[in-house]
Amino acid sequence: MKLKYLLLLLLLSSCVIIGSCAPTIKNFDKYEKQFLTKSSLMPSKENIEGKPPKIVVFALDENSNQVATQAGLGNAIANNVENIVAQNRLGELVDRNASEKLKKEIALSEMNKTGSYKGPKVADFAISGTISNSGFTSKYSAGSVFYSPRTGLITIPPSYNYSSDVSGNLKIYELPSLTVVDAIEFSGRKSRTESVKQDGGMAIGAIQIGGNKVTGSNRDDNLVRRAGEDAIDNIKIAIKNFFAKKGYILEKRVFDGKTIFKISIGSLDGIKHGDKFEVTSQYEVENAITNESEVETRVIGNGTVADKIEPKVSWVVIDDETQIEKIRLGDSVKIKYKKGSFDNVWKMTKSIAEQ
């Protein structure tokens, strides 16, 4: 037990070390505002104020899978997705129970491969999906007895090993067109081990002396739901990137050779110290064939959110100094999430805690 909590402490300590690499802004008051050339296509006031999208998440189709149905897996996975949306402030959640008409029209559009939603607009996006597989296995492992010259007789008791695998897909629909704008496959697995319980008598390794061993479980709904949670956790980054809010470059400041930029998204949008982002700019170009003017979007820089974060704005640092001069007032900023060391450490820590 002590080893378990020591490992947890070491893992959590590494999280602190990882987080400390994000940029900090010292002497913020000494930074002076600089002139910024305007983007040729400036965002509107509505763009800058950008309200979070309304999102409804429906229970997944359990596909007549008995294991999934017994565990209520379709609803459980929908709740897991809702937690990601809420915890990362990706949008405003809509009660799925108040959107039955939309759910039926999504089902019809899937069957007909076409359609659009004609009811009242309850959301901007709908998330649904199908569980293609959900399984539960129980395996008996006989114990053993062996002799060690150093420690003497060692007995390993018999055990039951349980595991659950879940897989399927999520689809994100844009409303009211019911167009599938993203499809994400998922899979997850969870397992646990328990010692075989005795009903009288005793067991020495694989040897049973009197009494009977208690039969293992033939179902574990909680383990199945945990496998579903693991599956959704594995695609969390994809969900976050789809709904990541777009912001805009508002200001540039310089001090002692260092440059920082102010952007129009902050803590209320789920922005955190150390988040990575991409800066894009729009340019009017002429089509060489039609000679008509077109809008071209280009990635002009990448950066990291610094420690100065307010509710509606935050300050950022551009990773490559050679990209600084390309950035203009009104250029777009979108957070780009990726699975990093912190996520792996947290998942390992959580897994240990659940043992």
- The angle at the Cα of 52, spanning 50 to 56, to the nearest 5 degrees, equals 150
Mean of all residue pLDDT scores within the chain: 84
- Per-residue pLDDT, averaged over 322-345, amounts to 83
- Per-residue pLDDT, averaged over 133-143, amounts to 88
- Per-residue pLDDT, averaged over 192-218, amounts to 63
CB 58 within 8 A of CB 130: no
More confident residue, 152 or 185: 185
What pLDDT score does 155 carry? Answer: 72
**pLDDT tens digits, one per residue of 219-231:** 999 999 999 999 9
CATH of the domain spanning 54-243: 3.40.50
- Going by pLDDT thresholds of 50, 70 and 90, the confidence category of residue 142 is confident
pLDDT at residue 19 is higher than 70: no
What percent of the chain clears pLDDT 90, i.e. is strictly above it?
Answer: 55
Domain spans, the chain: 23-49+245-335, 54-243
More confident residue, 143 or 260: 260
What pLDDT score does 335 carry? Answer: 93
- Going by pLDDT thresholds of 50, 70 and 90, the confidence category of residue 154 is confident
**pLDDT tens digits, one per residue of 172-182:** 999 888 889 99
CATH of 23-49+245-335, picked from 1.10.357.10, 3.30.980.20, 3.40.50.620, 2.40.10.410, is 2.40.10.410
More confident residue, 339 or 79: 79
- Per-residue pLDDT, averaged over 240-266, amounts to 95
Stretch among 198-202, 253-257, 318-322 having the lowest mean pLDDT: 198-202
CB 250 within 8 A of CB 279: no
Residue type, 113: K
What pLDDT score does 319 carry? Answer: 93
pLDDT at residue 95 is higher than 80: yes
What pTM does this model have? 0.78
| The two structure tokens encoding residue 190 | 């969870």
- Per-residue pLDDT, averaged over 293-305, amounts to 89
Stretch among 49-58, 101-110, 277-286 having the lowest mean pLDDT: 101-110
CB 169 within 8 A of CB 110: no
- The angle at the Cα of 87, spanning 85 to 92, to the nearest 5 degrees, equals 45
Which alpha helices (DSSP H) does the chain contain, by range?
A: 2-19, 45-49, 66-71, 73-87, 100-112, 221-234, 236-243, 341-354
